[in-house]
Chains A and B, each alone.
Chain A
Amino acid sequence: MYFHYDWVAEYLEDAPSLEEMLLILNATGLETERDGDGLEIEHTINRPDAMNHYGVAREIAVKTGRALREPQVFDGDLATLQGWTIHSDDAAMCPQYMGLLVENVKAEASPAWLKQRLEAIDQTSHNFLVDLTNFLLWEFGHPSHAFDADKLAGNEIRVRFATKGETLTTLDGNDHQADGYLCIADAEQPVAFAGVMGGANSEVDENTTRLLLELAAFDPVQVRYTGRDKQIFSDARYRFERGVDRENMDRIIRRFIFLLLQQQPQARVIGLHDMNVAPFQRTQIELRRQRLDLLLGISLPDTQVEDLLGRMDFRPQPMDGGWLLQAPGYKVDVVREVDVVEELIRFAGFDLLTSELPAMGGTSYTEQPLAVGERLCRNMLVGMGLQQAVSFSFVGETAEALFGTGAEPLRLRNPMNINQAVMRRNILPPLLTCVAQNAKRGLRRQQLFEIGHVFQNGTEPHHLAIVLSFDTDRTRWFDSAGQHPFYVIKGYLEALCERLALPLTFKSEVPTWLNPGEALGIYHGDQLIGGMGCLAPKITAFYEFEQPLVVAELSLDFLNQHHLPLPNVAKLSDQPAMRQDMAFVVDQHHAAGAVHQHILDLQPACLEDLELFDVYEGKPLEKGKKSLGFRFHFRHPERTLTSEEVAKVMDSVVESVRNTYGAVIRI
């Protein structure tokens, strides 16, 4: 909001320079930058008192102790307006409405001084009567409105909610349904949205000679609702929804008369109707010295406290252990003791505060197995060469549906675009969106992982996703000599399980977003918690992936109940190891993992480790056969094994594998 320096300075004795003003205002919490010959102030929403030139000057006066120069007002007698009805249906909606009737006025061009004032702050000059209300808004911050009194039916003003079927065309030319909104009405129809904008039907124009000036107070919430629903962003709304100074209304009326008569001495002030169904009363606040010191951690001297309170017009009265205060009308948000404490330190300055670290008892430690587990996962995946990613929690509905389980996703009511319309139930949809975009930029090789919340049935489980995208053509997937990418992703999962001792199992039943036969489901007990491997073809096609890609995605919530096992060190044997290689030729359909597990289940004596070191198909094997090469490591804890002992164990293993799988030993 822009304020002109000269205009602010007009209200101050010994006004500081523009540069000084910048420093003073910033120190009081009004964020101010210099803009030409003025001040650009970014107000926090609690500061309607400083959204006008007088208020900005008052801020400087309080901070620096300078005196204010009060603007001149009409100080003659004011007659009570006769023959007009002014009524508020609900005192809470409109506690006070001042109507001032003036006759023999002219909507002529504004005098030069007024034009200059308004133009200096980028306001357009219309005519003298309208300009005057605008000037008052920028002088004191209380919006007023000028009606052409001849256009108001029945000499009546009624503040009420509009009824069914009532409409209003506002000054900006837009038509609105008024039903249900707080309006100013004459005897027949709404003539303004209360506190938001006047109606075209009662507008001052070049023929206006009788003017009814409105200066009122409205419920800020109602003003906000009207403005929000009708999408009207007016200076009046902006101020009314933050609050106005009820104590200053009488002065504004008199200021209006003063300025009007100065320009148009022939104008006749007929009278003022001050409908005041809920007169303003200052809030009494007790400020306790002990509380003030407790919150600030320092003790401001009595003289400083009283001086500042006095300058702010709190009318401090000493009482036992503190002061009794009357909150001034312009401080609309100061209603409690703590609010006064803020006002005091705001003007006294934060530099006075001490700087200490709190010494506290109590314990803040709570065990957080999920957080610890997640950090371990992250550090380990980074250590294995993956890059941590962060993608959006929301994603396009089409992409998300590909991963869905049929249930409805959680949709946003007001997304910024359709690619951020639903909350993710799986990390992959938004993460793969990034991978696809990067691939189109020529960055095919990506090794990413992400840990974060997903959104399912009102809960937010923590998930882990891994994406390995390779820099080769999909069509040449199997050409290369290396491993099928499936085994690469599986290796990461196996390593993770080993490192964290995760009780996870892998089965061939997979979630729908994976391609059965090239993927595994990840199970925690009987529960499917994720999967790994190649994506379902519909998903590959959706993202237009041309490069091979494998993924994993699983819930990490089981980590909440997971305890990392403590290493429990076994005694190391000094005895020599015996190594024995054995290759079994079996039918292709037998899974290597099954044979491996079968051997382990036999619990061969002194077997320390069993490695599958070779899988071979092709000549000289028969078609339909494969060879599985196992390396057996034997060791006895206390003595050297003899070849005869090992041979005996191997014989029984070979026998069992032969009987179970029809295996033949490959020489």
Chain B
Amino acid sequence: MDLSNWNYEASLAAFDQRLAEVSAENLEALRLEYLGKKNGLCTQLVTALRDAPRELKPKLGKDINLFKKHVEAAFKDRKPAKAAKKAAGLDLTLPGVRPDLGSVHPLTMTLDAMTDYFSRLGYDIADGPEIENNFYNFEALNTPASHPARDDADTFYVEDPSGDLLLRTQTSGTQIRYMETHKPPFRMVAPGKVFRRDDDPTHSPMFHQLEGLVVGEGIHFGHLKGSLEDFARHMFGEKAVIRLRPSYFPFTEPSAEVDVSCVFCESGCRICKNTTWIEILGCGMVDPNVFKAVGYDPEKYTGFAWGIGIERVAMLKYAIPDIRYLYQNDRRFLDQFKVG
């Protein structure tokens, strides 16, 4: 190689241009062209320097050395190309390293959606014992001992000397306790476990209820209807409407069953048994005898009460085929509630 025509500035400019333009896959070839041990340009320059005219050697030596350092540094700066090559070796489809996802039980999800709604409307939330006595579960609720609803077949009794204890069949006892310790006006809901001797794909000996109670002066049936209508829209969507049918409960008068329009169809389906209505709760105006049992003046105060089965709503909402799924805690079941 003849160094007489070699020019530092020109070579540097040419190199910078080529490096700027080189593609990632040709980068290594370019590096070998300049820095290859045997035939790289820099090696050739150093070799040629030995034969260069003596008077040019100091200047050429300095230029070649600077050039070589520049080239080396430039390739070093292009190293991200090497990192990219390494990244290309990842299997990006492999799963990430992730923490476990927990899940809230569907009954809690359903109950939370309800209690959150009522909390926003200023309802108090009360908890009560699951083992009740006859007074709170029945007598204060206008259900005397002679009432057919008192049949042993429905109620679990607890072994105790008084013979008075039972597993509550409804959370209404909590409402009685609440009325004993609070003065109207108030609004409250009582969620909790209740128990009835029943066991099949749609009935469980233990299940959950939410009961609501609003007491004040001038509370009337229209308030009950409006409250439940608004609640139904919250739970089942903006289009949901309700229908009241006369019914009977010992502790309300008048009483009604409430159906909500089927959210799964418009003209009838399996879930609504082709009626376009789904029965979801029972309600009514509080019976004056209940107020008397807790020392309220039924002439002064009126109120309404309702109760809803949490299992039924959860089963409808999540299409759960068997109520027993809810208490088996099978991972395959619970895993399906990591969403939602």
The answer to whether A412 and B167 touch across the interface, beta carbons within 8 angstroms, is yes
Cβ of B223 and Cβ of A358 under 8 Å apart? yes
Residues 79-134 (chain B) with a chain A CB within 8 angstroms:
99-105, 107-108, 121-125, 127, 129-131
**Is A445 close to B, CB under 8 A?**
yes
Count chain A residues whose beta carbon lies closer than 8 angstroms to a beta carbon of B: 83
For chain B, give the interface size range.
35 or more
Whether B218 pairs with A27 at a CB distance below 8 angstroms is no
Select A411's contact among B124, B127, B158, B193, beta carbons within 8 Å: B158
Q: In residues 186-223 of chain B, which contact A (Cβ within 8 Å)?
A: 186-188, 193, 195, 197, 199, 205-206, 214, 216, 218-223
The residue of chain A having its C-beta at the shortest distance from the C-beta of B107 within the complex is: A390
A508 and B15 alpha carbons, distance in the complex (Å): 74
Could you tell me if A29 and B246 are in contact, using CB atoms closer than 8 angstroms?
yes
**B225 pairs with A413, CB closer than 8 A:** no
- A485-501, CB < 8 A from B: none
A393 to B208, CA, bound (A): 12
Interface segment out of the listed A160-168, A200-208, A345-353, A473-481: A345-353
B340: interface (CB < 8 Å): no
Q: Check A357/B227 contact, CB under 8 A, given A350-B246, A387-B102.
A: yes
* Chain B proximity mask over A20-49: 1 for CB below 8 Å, otherwise 0: 000000111101000000000000111100
Q: A336-B288, A390-B327, A412-B159 are in contact. Are A371 and B216 (CB under 8 A)?
A: no
A window 227-252: CB within 8 A of B:
228, 241-242
Inter-chain CA distance A358–B229, complex, in Å, is 13
Kindly state whether residue B334 has any CB partner on chain A within 8 Å: yes
Contact between B130 and A393, CB atoms less than 8 A apart: yes
In the complex, are the beta carbons of B330 and A44 less than 8 A apart? no
| Contacting residues of chain B (277-300) with chain A, CB-CB under 8 angstroms | 285, 287-288
**How far is the CB of B225 from the nearest CB of chain A, in Å?**
5
Complex interface: chain B residues within 8 A of A297 (CB): 220-223
Q: Report yes or no: A391 in contact with B327, Cβ–Cβ below 8 A.
A: yes
Chain B residues with Cβ under 8 A from A44's Cβ? 247-248
A368 to B118, CA, bound (A): 16
Nearest residue, chain A, Cβ from B188: A364
The residue in chain A whose Cβ has the minimal distance to the Cβ of B103 is A387
Contact indicator A350/B223 (Cβ below 8 Å): no
Let me know if B222 and A298 touch, CB within 8 A: yes
| Alpha-carbon separation in the docked complex, A339 to B225 (Å) | 19
| B131 surroundings in chain A (CB, below 8 A) | 410, 423, 455, 460
Q: Is the CB of B223 within 8 A of A356?
A: yes
A296 within 8 A of B: yes
Q: Determine whether the beta carbon of A431 is less than 8 Å from that of B329.
A: yes
Is A295's CB within 8 Å of the partner chain B? yes
CA distance A388 to B127 in the complex (A): 20
A364 touches B122 (CB 8 A): yes
Q: Considering the complex, give the chain B residue whose CB is closest to the CB of A409.
A: B159
Residues 134-171 of A at the B interface (beta carbon under 8 Å): none
Interface status of A100 (Cβ within 8 A of chain B):
no
Whether a CB of chain A sits under 8 angstroms from the CB of B267 is: no
Q: How far is the CA of A385 from the CA of B107 in the complex (A)?
A: 18
Looking at chain B's contact residues, the main secondary structure is mixed
Contact A391 B329 (CB under 8 A): yes
B102 lies within 8 A of A381 (CB): yes
Check A437 for interface membership: any CB of B closer than 8 A.
yes
The residue that B246 contacts in the complex, of A28, A221, A435, A438, with Cβ under 8 A, is A28
Shortest Cβ distance from B121 into A: residue: A357
Question: Does B185 touch A at the CB level, under 8 Å?
Answer: yes
On whether A412 and B156 interact (CB within 8 A), knowing A220-B146, A357-B227, A362-B216, the answer reads yes
Bound form: Cα–Cα A26–B304 in Å: 23
| Contacting residues, chain B, for A615 (C-beta < 8 A) | none
Cross-interface CB contact of B103 among A370, A382, A390, A415, cutoff 8 Å: A382
Instruction: Check A345–B254 contact: CB distance below 8 A.
Output: yes
- Residues in chain A near residue B222, CB distance under 8 A: 296-298, 353-356
Closest residue of chain B to A228, judged by CB? B151
**Which residue in B156, B184, B216, B248 is a CB contact (below 8 Å) of A46?**
B248
Taking a contact as CB atoms under 8 Å apart, the answer to whether B199 and A443 are in contact is no
B320 to chain A, nearest CB (A): 13
Contact B329 A389 (CB under 8 A): yes
0/1 per residue, B223-256, Cβ < 8 Å to A? 1011101100000000000011111100001111
Nearest CB in chain A: distance from B243 CB, A: 8
State the CA gap A346–B188 with chains docked (Å).
27
Q: Is B17 an interface residue (CB 8 A)?
A: no
Does chain A have a CB within 8 A of B157? yes
**Closest A residue by C-beta to B254:** A342
B332 interface residue per 8 A CB criterion: yes
**Residues of the B chain whose Cβ atoms lie less than 8 Å from the Cβ of A435:** 329
Given contacts A336-B288, A341-B254, A414-B197, contact A388 B223 (CB under 8 A): no
Contact: B193 with A453, CB < 8 Å? Answer: yes
In the bound complex, residues from chain B placing their C-beta under 8 Å from that of A383 are 102
A387:B197 contact, CB within 8 angstroms:
no
Whether the Cβ atoms of A366 and B124 lie closer than 8 Å is yes
Whether B225 pairs with A350 at a CB distance below 8 angstroms is yes
Return chain B residues, CB-CB under 8 Å to A28.
246
Assess whether B152 is interfacial by the CB under 8 Å rule: yes
CB pair A294–B302 under 8 Å, yes or no, is yes
Q: Which residues of B contact A441 (CB under 8 A)?
A: 330
The answer to whether B130 touches A296 (Cβ under 8 A) is no
Q: What residues on B are CB-neighbors of A452 within 8 Å?
A: 193
Known: A44-B247, A455-B131. A357 touches B226 (CB 8 A): yes
> B216 contacts A387, CB within 8 Å?
no
Q: Is the CB of A361 within 8 A of B185?
A: yes
Q: Is A378 located at the chain interface by the 8 A CB criterion?
A: yes
Bound CA–CA A236/B221 (angstroms): 36
Question: Which residues on B sit within 8 Å (CB–CB) of A412?
Answer: 156-159, 167
5 A–B contacts from the bound complex (CB under 8 Å): A221-B146, A350-B225, A365-B122, A414-B156, A423-B131
Query: B residues engaging A (CB < 8 A)?
Result: 99-105, 107-108, 121-125, 127, 129-131, 145-149, 151-152, 156-160, 167, 184-188, 193, 195, 197, 199, 205-206, 214, 216, 218-223, 225-227, 229-230, 243-248, 253-257, 285, 287-288, 302, 326-332, 334-335
Nearest first, the 3 closest Cβ-Cβ pairs linking A and B are A29-B246, A385-B100, A297-B220
Given contacts A392-B206, A416-B205, A453-B129, 7 further A-B contacts (CB under 8 A): A45-B147, A338-B253, A345-B221, A368-B125, A371-B127, A414-B197, A416-B199
